[in-house]
Structure 1
Amino acid sequence: MTNTPPLSGIDAPGFPVSRPDSCPFDPDESYARLRAEAPVAPVRCPAGMDAWLVSRYEDIRGVLTDPRLSSRGAGSMHMLPAYDGRDPLPGSMIQLDGEEHARLRRLLIGEFTGRRMEALRPYIQQIADEHIDAMLAGSSADLVRDFALPIPSLVIFEMLGVPYEDHEVFQRDSEVLMGFDADEAARDAASGRLEGYLAELIGQRLTEPRNDLLSRLIARGSRTERLLTVRELATLAVLLLVAGHETTASMIALSTLVLLEDPGRMAAFRAAPDAVGTAVDELLRYLSVIQFGLLRHATEDVTVGGTTVRAGEWLVAAVPSGNRDESVFPAPDAVDLGRQARTHLSFGFGAHQCIGRQLARIELEVALTTLLRRVPGLRPAGPLPRSEFKLNDIVFGLRSMPVVW
């Protein structure tokens, strides 16, 4: 192992959070320097802990696959000023390791196979067409509210068996949980409301099962040695609901904006409908909506990129930086819709790779191709102020996007 001083002995700079004024789609400009000069660098996180910021693609993949680097506190909890490293809730799959994580993933994985997701494509197409019909009844719309949010929301609500008429309540509490501005009490209250609602719904499914994901999870769990508790099911359902629509909704709106801002880019997208999957992966790489990376905790001493990380220290896998690593993606700050970018890190990597990645790809393919085919004159209603970009949320996105045609 290299002779690296422990984090406790380093005066760490602040976590890189800014985006250049010239292009809000680009991550913090310091990442390029870090990749070249200090690929594993100490940072002081908003949560108060110091961590090693890992900025190169290959090192990030290594961090996300190393079983010695725990997912306790995973996600972007390092950005929460009140985060104290608390133990994860039962059922919080993304924050569990080893068999605890694998047990939940095994119960879910059959719901997200490629075949099942492809079977949803006609339903997703129907949703997209219905919302475009509603938009075209007028002459303007908010692309976020009227198109980007409803598509993934309707799909995940339908899959789980959650009544869509309650989506506005879910959306309000989801926004609290995905942002970093609310205090701990507000976050706990939002989480409690969501879990309480879902626990009641799960109670109904225990006595009256239906043909939905929640009912199948209950049935599948009942056939295992360790039954799923109502709390585990509720926490897991919250995770699926929130993660199942926030990231994809953000990608639909941002991708549309990226395409609209460059006529050549738009023309290339429209000219190659058979290559839409390739274009979607390039947009996923370029936008990297999990904007502050993924947190990990060392359970023993490891070496990452030639740097000693000691047991008990934290690491942040800087996904946006890895997706702009010039050694893997030439000219990484450019959008190349023909680039073979499927190896991007936007869905994570390793045991915790996003279980819904195939669904997200299909939703993006259908939403973007349908929108740009049916509304050829689509354009922003005006310049978007920086305040409309979600710059202090777990997921980078847009609060609203007024459009006309």
Structure 2
Amino acid sequence: MIGSPVSGRTAGHLDEHASQLSISGDWLLDHYPQLEQQIQLKLNQGTSAIYSAEQVNVDALGELDTAGASLLLDYLGPATLARIAEHSPGLSAEKSALIQAVIEAMADRHPPEPETLSSIRRFLTDTGRQVEALARLLWLLLGFIGQILAALVWITLRPLRWRFTPFVAALQETGLNALPIVALLTFLVGAVVAFLGATVLQDFGVTIYTVDLVAFSFLREFGVLLAAILLAGRTASAFTAQIGSMKVNEELDALRTLGLDPIDLLVVPRVLAMMVSLPILSFVGMIAGMAGGALVCALALDISLAQFLAIVEQDITVRHFYVGMSKAPVFAFLIAAIGCLEGFKVSGSAQSVGTHTTSSVVQSIFTVILLDALGALFFMEMGW
């Protein structure tokens, strides 16, 4: 504080003359109620932030402390007050330093006014920010994948470090518990695909090819894709919520204090369990989807189960099954990695857990669909 408050001193005052503002008197904590009332009155009149630094005269300014400087900051704004502190000859070096310190301390309360941008510049700015956020997200994901691969190699070389109990628990959660919903969903989708295919192919008199449509689509695409999307919504969110809750409760810090690596303990078992569960669920989804299609063919097209299986054996080669199953481990690895990474990104609040849980589901589903589309184009170009 510059100068000690002493009773009897004149309270600070703002005098406006035309386009000039004169700041006089003592701006001290002793006079804070009067000064605050005066500043609030000016703010209510809408006369703040209309003066430039050259229009403000501080030659009559008396004593000043942090309370008075904060009120001047509220009235004049950080930019104008900073220029006054730097260039006004009526201020002593001590008062200038005090004003600068108050401006820096209250920077969060007085963020810089955003620059007025045109619609085109605003669009380009927002686009750039989104691209930057996406690049940062990809960079973090690649780094996290590197950590997982390094941990997998380290554990593989040390069989005594394998953690079978967390692996089995994660396998039950991601595989066994998800089996009924995957089978039911793919069965219903298979029936819908067969019904729609039969409706369209009936106009051409080739409803027999409904069998090929169902088998081809589920072996190559729908079996693994539907299972992966279900796990992305069901399991990735669970991984994020579990690890995020542990971080909020500081359990991750406790693990590190005990010399345990959270990647080895929490991430690797979940990743391995997903890479085992998703191929099995994909296979179940393929069978259930074709079963739904076979049911529709039997009821609506008079194609018996034996005839359905004979057509599949004759027309559908095993490479379509291999193409579909080859996607499952990749999808499983990425879903588990994204779910665990979002869990580690949780901050110390319940709202953050919910936000990152939602983010993990969106990212996982988007990644699965994007990679499936790229994989379909690749296999098509390769003739597989």
- TM-score bracket relative to the smaller structure: under 0.3
Which one has a bigger Cα radius of gyration?
Answer: 2
Higher helix fraction (1 or 2) = 2
TM-score where L is the length of structure 1: 0.25
